[in-house]
Amino acid sequence: MRIEEVINKHYSNLNENDLYILKYILNNKRECSSLCINELAKRCNISKTTILRLTHKLGFNGYSEFKVFLKWEEENNKRKNNSEVELEELLHENLKLINQKDLTEMCKIIHDADRVFVHGTGTAQTTIARELKRVFLAVHKYLDVIEGTTELEIVKSSISEKDVFIIISLSGETNHLKSFVNELNIRGIKYISITRLGNNMISRKTQYNLYISTSVMSLGNGVQYETTTLFFIVIEALIRKYISLYFNNKEY
């Protein structure tokens, strides 16, 4: 739990002095995590008794426990923001995931399909869907990007067993796709899922799964960033496998 969450939890018990102290702490977290109670009292021009009462209102045994909590949060943020090391590890992990997956069958169903439709569930995923369409143009395989739920409903009525769907979803739990993938399965229409690594609804209902391993970075003030760029590595692996299977054999 972050300090902001602790404050929200006990907000109704706080007075103006408490909020004044907390405003200073939130704006100077790193500094306050190493201040003794007398130093903080001096910075806020307030008595140390008032600060001690505040820590009790927030559910801590005293100022020492409160300071340990601040220090723990600061250290935790440092670990999360060690971005260069984390990115390198993340790339290795995703390459390992790709190497463990045989892409032959997925490339085959794309190759043999009359039509291939691609649907991304959000802005970033739709961008990835467009990139997938672009790279497959090089091998004369034309993919249709379905961008919204309305388009998805229109296409649904005309697709057949000769077509293939590629669904890109970070969570794999997108609500508007639950009934859609069920219908695909009932009608015997194959689809490839590209999702975050884990047991999720979209990947669970098809035998053709591709995964990315992601990480979440804390940017402070409750803002978090989860990368989706690793989807592009999956796309690159898929098109390279497709080229090695079909294009290099001069079928075109």
Q: Tens digit of pLDDT for each residue in 65-112?
A: 999 888 888 777 666 556 666 778 888 888 888 888 899 999 999 999
The larger pLDDT score, comparing residue 43 to residue 90, is at: 43
Domains of the chain: 3-80 (1.10.10.10), 83-247 (3.40.50.10490)
pLDDT recorded at residue 170: 92
124 burial (CB, 10 Å; 0-12 / 13-18 / 19+) is middle
Percent of the chain with pLDDT over 70: 94
- By CB atoms closer than 10 A (0-12, 13-18, 19+), residue 155 is middle
Mean pLDDT to the nearest integer, 202-229: 84
Strand pairing category for 143-146 and 164-169: unpaired
Whether the predicted pLDDT of 252 surpasses 50: no
pTM value is 0.65
Q: What percent of the chain has pLDDT over 90?
A: 62
Determine contact, residues 224/216, Cβ cutoff 8 Å.
Answer: yes
Residue-level pLDDT at 78: 63
DSSP state of 81: T
Across the chain, mean pLDDT equals: 89
φ/ψ bin of 195: left (φ > 0), alpha (ψ from -120 to 50), beta (otherwise): beta
The yes-or-no verdict on residue 184 having pLDDT over 80 is yes
**Banded pLDDT at 138 (limits 50, 70, 90):** very high
